Chains A and B, each alone.
Chain A
Amino acid sequence: MSATTASNLTIENLNKSYTVNNDEVVALQGIDLAIREGEFVAIVGSSGCGKSTLLRIISGLENGYSGEVRIGGKRIGGPGLDRGMVFQEHRLIPWLTVEQNVAFGLNGLENGRRDTVVREHLELVGLAGFAKALPHQLSGGMSQRVAIARSLVNNPQLLLLDEPFGSLDALTKIQLQQEILRIWEVERTTMVLVTHDIDEAIFLGDRVVIMSSRPGTIKKIIPVHLPRPRDRSSYDFVQIRKEIYAEFFAEAEKPFAYAI
């Protein structure tokens, strides 16, 4: 690819602050980020660093910021079908069946076409046999799969993942990471993943964006030039992990050494 690859998502000098008890709290400061079409970007940061706020701004759920957020050159103004989102909690509607939940975002299609799209997406996440189940009958991992299917029905250019595996057990989490990778390879959707799990970020991301907190700024962007599927215990993987750990714990771990 040439150096002038179309940039799908462009963020320029983004600032966002909240007012809490008459005090202004700066959530995001001077964020600049360009994400290419089809890229998988993982954003890591400790809780409260504003990474979820960043994602919510991109999704259009959050307003009142300064700076530019553009998709395909167009400024965003509220949510749109070009962007999908998966939240930390699955947010399935408890009284709708799995297929109704997936069809929730499908509007203006005739019934036959809609059923096909729903079936295809349930197959994509490996839940074709659970179309008639209710959310409370599903495990946490299955629920999150349904949420992923729901977020993809409108074929968004950009999928925003807000700590989607954060509440899953370690094994299910790894399974779903592999799953999202497979979906990314099939659908070629641009992915922006927010996480506090450093391994997850390295396993999935083409680039890992490290954010620091108060105010939330981009501290460093680390490219991950490793072939997929990535081996979490390979030398290169571990080197990148060390590099990222150093960004977070450089100061904190020294006093610990004295204690030993």
Chain B
Amino acid sequence: MALDSTSRLQTLLHLLQYTGLSVAIIVIWQGLFHLGLLNPVLLPAPSQIALAFWDLIKSGDLPRHIGISVLRVLEGFGIAAVLGLGLGTAIGLSRTLDRWTDLIIQVIKPIPPIAWIPLAILWFGIGEQSKVYIIFLGAFFPIIINTIDGIRQTDHKFVEVARILAVPRFKFVRQVVVPGALPAIMTGLRVGLMVAWMCVVAAELIAASSGIGYLIMDARQLSQSDVVIVGMITIGVIGKLMDSLIKRLESRLIRWKVAFAGN
């Protein structure tokens, strides 16, 4: 019994640690507003933001914009994941293919997806395609680079075991190389999804008539800073949810790995 109540106390303490800072910031923020220290146009109070949030949900605008942005991310990220995993595996396995592709990957990788926006608009117009293209570019490189790295990290000791046992190449790739690369691949997918989510907002900020980025840009023109902040917080929360989802998938796929959890 004593043990049970201690562990419940522990859980409560951890919950407090997890949420404490966010709650404190909101409380101080609201307090500053009541003391008259904040200009509501420049930085509206949390209560105003909550109200704006509620209005946007009631009118259905926020869910609609979220839906559109998420759909764009899923399309761009999906294409990036398929191509990144496929090409990454192929390049990771073949030194020749690596030599053919390394330079072009290394040069295109540092170009921010945002810098592609002018070309994307010229090529695809301001419709869905240009956004999906930008998102694809953002997600593709983290995925392909991590996949190549993961494949390359195959333990040489297992290569020797496979040689001794004359294991066919395909079986070796399927049973050793790919599962061994999975932690790196999952990292690539996580980073890729994060970048994709950031890219959709960036693309929508510049040229769009819908989506979370558009919502923010539209509100800016109308000086609705509360709506701007609602949009920003929505981006953050959805990004966090996506990350948690991939993390959960990761821990399900990689049961054998006993990760260092910090102290």
Contacts and interface: CB of A to CB of B under 8 A. Distances in A.
Interface of A: 59-61, 78-81, 83-85, 87, 89, 91, 93-96, 100, 104-105, 107, 134-136, 150-151, 154
B163 to A, nearest CB: 5
Contact of B165 (A96, A105, A134): A105
Interface stretch (B107-115, B130-138, B171-179, B240-248): B171-179
Given A91-B158, A134-B256, A107 B164 contact: no
B160 interface: yes
B164 A59 contact: yes
Contact of B176 (A60, A93, A136): A93
A89 B161 CA distance: 11
B166 A87 contact: no
B165 to A, nearest CB: 3
A93 B162 CA distance: 11
A104 B166 contact: no
A150 B157 CA distance: 15
A84 B158 CA distance: 14
B179 A91 contact: no
A136 B166 contact: no
A82 to B, nearest CB: 10
Contacts, number: 58
A149 B150 CA distance: 29
A83 B166 CA distance: 10
A79 B175 contact: no
B256 A79 contact: no
A91 B163 contact: no
Contacts of B167: 104-105, 107
Interface string B133-160: 0000000000000000000000001101
A159 to B, nearest CB: 11
Contacts of A60: 163-164
B157 A79 contact: no
23 contacts: A60-B163, A61-B164, A78-B163, A79-B163, A80-B166, A81-B165, A84-B164, A85-B164, A87-B157, A87-B160, A91-B157, A93-B158, A93-B175, A93-B176, A94-B257, A95-B254, A96-B175, A100-B175, A107-B166, A107-B168, A134-B255, A135-B256, A151-B164
B258 interface: yes
Given A61-B164, A93-B175, 14 more contacts: A59-B164, A78-B163, A85-B164, A93-B158, A94-B256, A104-B161, A104-B167, A104-B175, A105-B165, A105-B166, A107-B171, A134-B256, A135-B256, A150-B165
B216 to A, nearest CB: 43
Contacts of B254: 95
Nearest to B258: A136
A151 B162 CA distance: 11
A94 B161 CA distance: 13
Interface residues of B, number: 21
A107 B165 CA distance: 9
A61 B163 contact: yes
Contacts of B255: 134
B240 to A, nearest CB: 29
Nearest to B168: A107
A87 B158 CA distance: 11
Nearest to B176: A93
B188 to A, nearest CB: 18
Contacts of B160: 61, 87, 91
Contacts of A150: 165
A20 B158 CA distance: 25
B151 to A, nearest CB: 15
Contacts of B168: 107
B245 to A, nearest CB: 22
Contacts of A80: 166
Contacts of B176: 93
A238 B162 CA distance: 40
A95 B165 contact: no
Given A87-B157, A91-B158, A93-B176, A104 B165 contact: yes
A81 B166 contact: yes
Contacts of A59: 164
A246 to B, nearest CB: 36
